Structure 1
Amino acid sequence: MDLGMTERLKPIHEQVAGMIADEIRPLDAEFLAEVEKGDRWAYTERQKEILEGLKATAKKRGLWNFWLTDSQRGYGLTTVEYAYLAEEMGKSHLAAEVFNCNAPDTGNMEVLERYGSPDHKEKWLAPLLEGEIRSAYLMTEPDVASSDATNIAMSCIRDGDAYVLNGEKWWSSGAGDPRCAVYIVMVHTPSEGRSRHQQHSMILVDAASKGIEKLRPMAVYGMDDAPHGHLHIRFKDVRVPAENLLLGEGRGFEIAQGRLGPGRIHHCMRAIGQAENALELMCRRSLQREAFGKPIAHLGANYDIIANCRMEIEQARLLCLKAAWMMDQGDARAAAPWISQIKVVAPLMALKVIDEAVQVHGAQGISQDTTLAHSWKHVRTLRLADGPDAVHRRQVARTELKKYSQEKF
């Protein structure tokens, strides 16, 4: 099991890390400050200039679509190799999109590549791969416990050559972006002849379809993430061409598991990148700031805190790389418990490191003057996104108990 950086990856990693440190991170604060100018749900001219300029540079250098693991369309990196790049991207607000490796588009592009028709690929996959449009993934619903996805209830009824959708979705990340052109929607298509996990389907919905109402942006600890956004959306008699249903009725969970597995690893490696960024800020602050006549690094338990943060980051990274390696072996079922482990471990670790960095920064740490408050909010949300901790712990425990019992868990 080789979890190290390959010779193929090293020069790519060096370019990506260098561009993030020298060209992308220095523009993060200016980009975010532009949100407060004018319409929060439209990009300002300066935001467009920053983002499109960086994307053009990345494309010119060939630093594009790394997430396309095991594909001729991209670099053909393994999940382990991509994980190292995802960690670097976690250190900057803009980096993932600059390299066209941003969620939820990566998972949506995987779905379109694997399951979309030639027409779907021409209409939506091609411009997504070029970074010209954005997309959203609509799964969670306000009136059911979506941590058990079999509860998902959005109605999807066949009517001639179309399906008619009715219901609500929320936490639709990316749906607020004015460039968002397509939704991938998990819907309820029940049939007595199918099992519990074959009662749902996935369907492609043009974001401009008649009957879609954007009710509100959801706020995460008071922040709405404009202009990206996590929208609450109502579908009222939305007609969607029948050919937009992917694979056929009852195949929704099959598609979801193929989409969510790699995405969870990507999220976790980006969280590790955020933890690394927080630890760097903590160390620099603790050496530069003085109290009681000493640099604060020498006060209290700060040596122990810094040491523990370093050790816990390393542990989480190794677990994430092992989960990525398991994914690369091609057996999604065998990889699943490892992905669940890192999905619990990485956000918890990153939250702890970020919180310790906030403490070292004092009042500045909770303000807009550092990236720490924004990072904490994002990583705290990650403990719920793609399944809450309790669900993943349950999966890990069931896998463990199966080793010692004939009982079905």
Structure 2
Amino acid sequence: MKLAPSLLFLLLLAACTPSQTQPESMNSVSTPKSYQFLVGTYTDSIHHGINYLYFSPDENLMTIETIAAGIANPSFVVSSKDGKKVFSLEEESGIQGGKVLSFSRNPETNELALLDQDDSQGDHPCHIALSPNEDFLILSNYTGGSLSVFRVSQGGQVDFVQKIQHTGKSVNKSRQEAPHVHSTLFDREGKRVLVADLGTDKIYVYDFNPSIAAPLSLSGELPMTPGDGPRHLAFSADGKEVLVVEEMSAMLDVFSYENGVLSPKQRLSLLDEGFEGAVGAAEIRLSPDGKHVYVSNRGEANTLSVFAKKSNGEYVRIQNIPSGGIIPRNFNLTDDGKYLLSAHQASNDIVIFERDAVSGTLSLTPWKATVHKPVYLHRLPN
């Protein structure tokens, strides 16, 4: 039987047209999901230094390697938004304090090349804050009780421009005998800088004007509860609250924030009822969706605390879970919020938790990496 030309064309067209349920390419392979972090450490050898961590749950793979050896105690490390410049420090003491260092980073090989370095102008720098425009950085000099401001050139050079020395003390004679600046935080607009001083039990607020020679000027001080020892700070997702982790009392303080003014809202404990032992609250992070707050606690607690925000605006602790190691000085979340990595200074490891996207609670996974004294985790862009 012969088919009419028009019918033959329609049959051929149907035979060559893929079904709507057929994949575009039978041979297409999706790229495994992966995450990458820079790891700051305390060092005891010239072979120690800044590390690079790669984690791919799809490949069931977690690796870590040293990419900048011979740096003394690079306990804090941060990158530019594109990941091509890296800033670190040497948490040391000396005539001019420790060091601040800048590197260029090759995203393909993760190699770091030293661009510049300068003295920190204060003993034991322990924290770096990079301005929103990435043209200034601030070092917190813990033992020196000061903060140092550096201008960052487009080429990555760091030039010292200002030092602010804190004075005072608080109630704990062994740990608060002098100022101990622990961290700084730029606000969302980049117009102010908040400073946590463990030694004086205060949060300081500085106006920030990058167009003048000395860009920081004090605009306010907020006393904490005596003996708190404020350590690290974070903004809520909307920028209207400041959350402060109090190292020595293991508390989370919540403040409203408007135009540089902080007002107390809530105070929550990291400790389960009946806990007795040494504490040392350390890091605070928000989940990428802004719905949950995470805080680590060292000492004899070694826990991660999870807080959720209720509909009335108050926070509530919903979980206390062992951190998976000893001395969880730092932790961080992946960019999609699916995993939390916890770094342990004393047990020399980094473990991974899976995060429930709805409840925010954590569950420990089998993934674990060994590394010498990890004390900071910085998330790199993928």
**TM-score, length of structure 2 as denominator length:** 0.25
**TM-score, length of structure 1 as denominator length:** 0.24
Return the index of the structure with the highest Cα Rg.
Answer: 2
Structure richer in helix, relative to its length: 1
* Structure with the larger RCO, 1 or 2 (CA within 8 Å, 6+ apart): 1
